[in-house]
Amino acid sequence: MYIHQISVFIENKPGNIANFTNFLAEHKIDMRAFQIADSSDFGIIRIIVDDPFNTLTLLRDNDWYL
């Protein structure tokens, strides 16, 4: 069994992590793992979800930077 990790680039601004996690919650996407690597300008959120292929499609369709 393979585990697929999704990486999302996000601007390092207050509220952006909340916006991202709220977006996932609104679309009934459950995260199994969540990790952030950040710098002064941006961060990379790495998540593992139950349905990575549908999650990728949803994120792309809603202009999240993968």
Quote the pTM value: 0.88
Q: What are the residues whose beta carbons fall under 8 Å from the beta carbon of 60, sequence distance 6 or more?
A: 66
Domain ranges of the chain: 6-61
pLDDT at residue 34, as a whole number: 96
What's the CA gap between 42 and 57, in Å, rounded?
Answer: 22
Q: What is the pLDDT of residues 26-64, one digit of tens each?
A: 999 999 999 999 888 899 999 999 999 999 999 999 999
Q: What CATH number belongs to 6-61? A: 3.30.2130.10
